[in-house]
Amino acid sequence: MDRPKWEVADVFRRYGETYRNNHGASLSQVQRCVMTAIEVCRTAALGGHLERCDQCEYERNCFNSCRDRHCPKCQSLARAKWIEDRQAELLEVGYFHVVFTVPQEIAAIAYQNKDLVLGILFRVTAETLKTIAADPKHLGAEIGFFAVLHTWGQNLQFHPHLHCVVPGGGLTPDGRWISCRPNFFVHVRVLSKLFRRLFLEALQMEFDAGQLKFFHALEPLREPAAFGRQLAKLRACDWVVYAKQPFAGPQQVLDYVGRYTHRVAISNNRLLDIEGDQIQFKWKDYRNGDRVKAMSLSSDEFIRRFLMHVLPSGFHRIRYYGFLGNRYRNQKLAECRRLLGMTVAEPQPEGAKAEKEYRERYEELTARSLFQCPHCKQGTMVKVAILPRASSAAVQSVNSS
């Protein structure tokens, strides 16, 4: 894939300092760190090394990555490594894709209480899936699944939702494997009603404990009566839980997770133009037949929307539940494989897998070579010098350029 003409880093480098000056009081420390990380990613500010072709003497500087999880340029290797780890956990069963989302009124509260309310979203989604699946009327088994948090819609507005990937079956209390009906997991109306009830109960508990904060337009919700009216309104409306088309097989699961797990709010290849004070990007209008359109935002609004999706420090956006939960995963997966009659590969002795340098890992996981000379296509790029980090003055120059 060709390198995009424009990058989110270009937006931050060009307009970031002005944004900081205008909105510094409202920026969290995490948001500031994300802005700086993206601005200096793969620049002299982070240092790196010099490479030279062993055939034609072509040289290039290779600067270090920021490795921030919100950076559009720093996800490919992390994504490929994550897929490799998950591949060993796939079962020879059908897989389902279930999405849990919340009404816009909840999204507004979540934006002002990210750690707390997004945590509720994970916890209640997991409880909903596990409770319904354990009911003998539906499946009667312990299921395993992972959930991936996305907080954005195509227009970059705050739209928190969880993508859940669920194997089609589970472990019964008497030690058997039971499969779901072909092409059907659980009726989404059943999931939706329990999800709504559990979520609103959890939200009310946090309100009663004084844990929720309300600012600006949401300030009236500080009053118990107003908050109660809001919850009553939300109990009366439908909540969206939907099941996408079941995966065709385990390999399609990997293709899916490769696209979804390490996404950021907007990828560089969606940017169309940066001109004057306007940022133009592609977006898909799901309400209009999935038509791809162009949207233009001021630099101030584009940065504001991007920063809406910066997660609290240490917040895990991929979580595992049931027999895929971290504590008993290996033990329970082994039992699932045994019950399904799967052939299990012999584990490698500890230390047998030698540590590879990042260029080897990159080529292995992405099928793209960082060794081949881009100039002559014949030689191999060899490291010949270390490039130290730039001075703080140079970093300031990068940020203001």
Dump pLDDT digits (tens) for 242-301.
888 778 777 788 777 767 778 889 999 999 999 999 999 999 988 888 899 999 999 999
Q: Tell me the longest C-alpha to C-alpha distance in the chain.
A: 76
Domain spans, the chain: 8-68+357-400, 89-265+308-340
Distance CA 362, CA 401 (A): 30
Half-sphere CA count of 100, side-chain side, radius 13 A: 29
> Which pLDDT does position 400 carry in this prediction?
43
Q: Are 378 and 54 in contact (CB under 8 A)?
A: no
CATH of range 89-265+308-340; options 3.40.50, 3.40.1310, 1.20.58, 2.60.40: 3.40.1310
In sequence order, the β-bridge partners of residue 320 are 146
Q: For the chain, what is the mean pLDDT?
A: 89
- Percent composition of the chain: helix, strand, coil (DSSP 3-state, to 5): 45, 20, 35
**What is the rounded CA–CA span in Å between residue 360 and residue 82?**
16
* Whether pLDDT at 79 is above 50: yes
Phi-psi region of 63 (alpha: psi -120 to 50; beta: other; left: phi over 0): beta
Q: Residue 398's pLDDT is what?
A: 45
**Which of the residue ranges 14-23, 181-190, 272-281, 340-349 would you say has the lowest mean pLDDT?**
340-349
Residue 358 has a pLDDT of 66
Which residues touch 393 (CB under 8 Å, ≥6 apart)?
none
The gap between the terminal CA atoms of the chain, to the nearest Å, is: 27
Confidence of residue 337 (pLDDT cuts 50, 70, 90): very high
Give the residue from 35, 44, 32, 166 showing the smallest Cα distance to 98: 166
**How big is the CA angle at 206 (ends 200 and 210), to the nearest 5 degrees?**
140
CB atoms inside a 10 Å sphere around CB 277: 14
Contacts 24+ apart (CB under 8 A), 65-68: 65/41, 66/37, 66/38, 66/40, 66/41, 66/42, 68/33, 68/34, 68/37, 68/38, 68/41
**Hey, what are 127's tokens?**
């409880």
What's at 202, amino acid-wise? A
pTM of the model: 0.89
Burial 44-60 (b: 16+ CB within 10 A, else e): bbbebeebbbeeeeeee
Place of tokens 């971290």: 326
pLDDT at 399: 46
What does the alpha-carbon distance between residue 200 and residue 213 come to, in Å, rounded to a whole number?
A: 16
CB within 8 Å of 294: residues ≥ 6 apart = 272, 280, 281, 282, 283
